[in-house]
Each structure stands twice: as structure tokens, then as C-alpha cells.
Amino acid sequence: MAVARLRFLSKDDEELVHEQSLKCLNEIGVLIRSHSVLGMLEEGGAAVDRKSGIAMIPESMVKEAMSRAPRSIRLCARDPKHDMPIPVTSHPYLGTTGLGIYIRDMDTGEKRPSTRKDISDMLRLADALDPCGYVWTTLTAREVPQEAHGLHELWTAFQSCTKHVQSVEVASADDAKRQIALASYVAGGRDELRKRPLFNVICCSIAPLSYEESAIEGMVEFAKAGVPVAPMTMSLSGGSAPVTMAGTVVNANTENLASLVVTQFAAPGAPHIYCSSSAPIDMRTGCINYMTPEPPLISAALGQMALRYGLPSMVGDWGVNDTDRAGNPHAFSQVMSVALTTLSGTDIAGGMGGLDAVKGASLDQLVIDAYLWEDVRVFMREYEFSVETAALDVTKSVGHGNIFLTHPHTMKNFRSALTFWDPKKLAMEATLSDRMVPEAKSIAKRLLKEHVVPGLDKDVLKKGDELIRDYEKTL
């Protein structure tokens, strides 16, 4: 099968990134703010300086981790029809945006702090939109105790959609254990959750080359439970990574290899997703800048490294709107830069519905992004190249200088061979525009009114609510 992909690195470039990453791990090391994880790595063969918290990881440990990691994962959903086997063979699965702190209200147009109700609305809408393959927890529940907001968001997500969920917040090892417990209630037990992981978790490293105690100890707990981990590096060129393309890619790859060592030495065979959301910083503001040519190239480079290692990946970002209002406000070249990240070889990517560089979200933007992705993803469909599809027998039948339009072969195959875009949906793809917003709002309101998500069992709901209440009492 032929599938469109963006390749960036030569074989020699790949080798250099790999070699420099190994050199970095062995000679510079990674800072790990966890005594327990440092002890685990030291037992596995790392040279650990307990005073500084630096672990020097030898190549032998990296090779051992690679030999243990699974080459494919099934990201499961409450409704098995939404299960996502990765790596993909065609286009990636695209999900909602990350951990925004506000929502743009569709009715009033005002920005306001997001709540569990907003999370539920966003995810019910995502559940109704076919182009949305899975969901992040998307928004921050601002009305709950903030030490427990991750649990509230995950629990709301399980109740609000039937698709696979990606959790974003890891407050501690104890928080991780409780996230695992919530998912176990929905799955029907811990063994069932291991067989069918209903969620995966982003556990961010802190570029350059460091890990906070909460994230890395949570990562260990998830690995032990069989919950897929996506240890996201956010290597920002000129900010938290060298400003050069090579420096950014090497830093991001190094952190991914370090995370792989942690999960595989904590639990050999634990499901692991090579993960990055890396981009330059805006030199004028210091903020992350996705609307430049560099992010898709970083994604393509890291997609190639993940493929080299045989690991499922999440290295692309979708975010056609980094302003704080819905629409497609950027020039064609900027939108193309973001769209190309989905050609990077990534298996999953997030960002639908996001505003303001992931600080916010809106329901109408989610509809706009879903319609845009519906048309963009066809560029990565599978095309069969075979003797049959080369169709020389048809060419012979038609003859020199004649037309194929009326041949039975054309009539039989044109609907499956060609793409027919909906002109009404294409109107939502205009750049430098917000004229599609009213229609997107009406679609969002209609889907929220019509789409019904099957509820969880009452006993399961009771257990989950009690778990969160008990946790809040300990804060």
C-alpha cells in the first residue's frame, strides 16, 4: 500500500540523532527528582549521583528497553468500534485539544473559566464527530479543588464519551493510582483494564533533560498497571532546547529514550508511546510558536526516529487556530505548516477545538477542525499498487487515444478511487476568516441536543464519585 508521508532526515541524519542522543544520556544524563526512580535506574545499570539527582544512562540500558517495548498497542474505548490499533497504516487518529483553562462561550462570546460541564459538552460533541478519533480531557475543571482536578476531568471524560481517553494531568503517584482505579471501574476490573486500556496518559518531561517527581513516579505506576504512557517532551527551540533544528530534535529524542528506559525497567513490556509536542519559541514573546515551518519538520524527524525504534508515536500537533476566537485566522502557508504535521508519520495527534496555543477551547472551533480534518485526512488514505490496480487490461481494452470515462472499470471503481469533497464543508476551510463560525455553532448545538452517550452503571458512578471525594479529604 502507498501512503503519503513527510520524510525529512536522511539515514545518516537519523544515525547522528541516535548517536548524539546516546552520548547525551551517557555523558550528560537526565535529572530525576525521585529517589525511588533513581534507585530503580541505578539497580538497572545507570550511574547515579544521589546528591544532584543526575542519572547517566548507558547504551546497554537503552538497548534493553527497546527490546522490551511492544511494537504495537491497541488504545481501547468504551465502545469497541472506536478502538485504535497503533501504529496506523494510513492517516493518524486525531483527538481534541489539551488542558485549556478557559472556554469561549458559544452563546455570549465571552471567555470564562472552564468547568466539568464544559468538559462534558466538548467531549460529547467530539463523541458525535466522526473525524475525532479519541479525546484528551481537553479543559481544566476550575471549580473543583485543583489538587484533584485531573481525577475530575478523567471521570467526566469516561461519562461523556465512548471513545478512547487521553489523560493529561498527573499530580502524584497516588493520583496515578486513583486514575487507574477509576478506569478499572469502567473496564470491569484491573485485569480487564490491562487487557483493554481505556485511557492513556501524557507524563511530561521538563526540557531540557529533567523529570519532576510527580510525573515520573506517576509514569511508573501507569506502566506497572499496563496503562499506555505517552511521555511528552516539549523541546522548544531557543527556549528549552538548542535553537538549531538538530539540537531540538536530539534533545526531544534523548528525553524519549530516557522515558522509555524508565517505563521498561519499571515494567518490562509496558505499552509506551514515543511522544513530543516540540516547536520553536516566538523570539518576540517567549511563547511557544506552532505557526511556523519548523514544527512539521521536527515532527517528521521524530516520526522517523520512532519508526526506526519500532515504537508507536504521538509526534504531531493539530492547531490551525492559536488566537482566542474561533475560525481559521491564519494565512495558507501557516495553516499548511500545521496540517503537514499529520504527514509526519505520527500515529495519534491532539489539538482539535483548541484556541490560544492550547490555553483555551471552543465548541464551534471543534466542529471547524473536525470538518477540516475530514478533508485533510484523505491525503493519507491507502492506495493499492498492484497488477490489478495498474489496470493494463483496461488500457488495452480502451485503446490508443481513446477515453476511459464510459468504460465499465471506471463506472465500477470511481467512487472508491476518487475523493469527492463536500462544497458546503469546504466553505469552513477559508483562511483569514471567521465566516464559518455561525454555521459551526448551529452544528455544535444540534449535535449536543441529538447525540446521546450511554451512561455508566449506577454502581460504577457511585464508586468513582466516592473515590474522588475520599481523595479530596486527604488534600
Q: 444-471, pLDDT tens digit by residue?
A: 999 999 999 999 999 999 999 999 999 9
3-state helix, strand, coil in the chain (%, to 5): 50, 15, 35
Q: What is the pLDDT of residue 475?
A: 86
Instruction: Name the E strands within 152-298.
Output: 165-167, 199-202, 210-211, 229-230, 236-237, 274-275, 279-280
Q: Is 393 exposed, middle or buried (0-12, 13-18, 19+ CB in 10 A)?
A: exposed
CA distance 277 to 287: 14
Q: Beta strand 348-352 with 316-317: parallel, antiparallel or unpaired?
A: parallel
Alpha carbon 455 to chain centroid, angstroms:
26
CA distance 327 to 433: 6
Are 74 and 84 within 8 A, CB to CB?
Answer: yes
Q: What is the pLDDT of residue 284?
A: 86
Amino acid at 414: F
Residue in this structure with the C-alpha cell 478533508, named with its chain if needed:
375
Q: Beta strand 30-32 with 54-56: parallel, antiparallel or unpaired?
A: antiparallel
Alpha carbon 31 to chain centroid, angstroms:
25
The torsion angles phi and psi of 357, rounded to 5 degrees, stand at 50, 45
Query: For the chain, where do the domains classified as CATH 3.20.20.480 start and end?
Result: 67-380
Task: Measure Cα distances from 405 to 362, 412, 413 in Å.
Answer: 45, 11, 11
Task: Measure Cα distances from 105 to 115, 292, 321, 324, 363 in Å.
Answer: 12, 28, 16, 11, 8
Which SS3 state, helix, strand or coil, does residue 239 take? coil
Instruction: State the alpha helices, DSSP H only, in 321-436.
Output: 332-339, 363-376, 387-390, 392-398, 408-417, 423-426
Residues of the chain with pLDDT under 50: none
CA distance 288 to 240: 10
**Beta-bridge partners for 86:** 73
Q: Which of 367, 368, 277, 374 is nearest to 317 (CA)?
A: 277
Contacts of 1 (CB under 8 A, 6+ apart): 89, 90, 382, 383, 384, 385
pTM: 0.94
Q: Which of 378, 373, 381, 379 is nearest to 429 (CA)?
A: 373
Q: Which of 44, 38, 42 is nearest to 63 (CA)?
A: 44
Q: Show the cell assigned to 148.
A: 484533584
Report the b/e string of 174-184 with b at 16+ CB within 10 A. ebbebbbbbbb
CATH of 67-380, one of 1.20.1730.10, 3.20.20.480, 3.40.190.10, 3.40.50.10490: 3.20.20.480
Instruction: Report helix angle 213-225 to 35-44, nearest 10.
Output: 60
Q: What is the pLDDT of residue 291?
A: 85
Are 352 and 369 within 8 A, CB to CB?
Answer: yes
CA distance 346 to 438: 32
Sign, Cα dihedral of 280, 282, 285, 288: negative
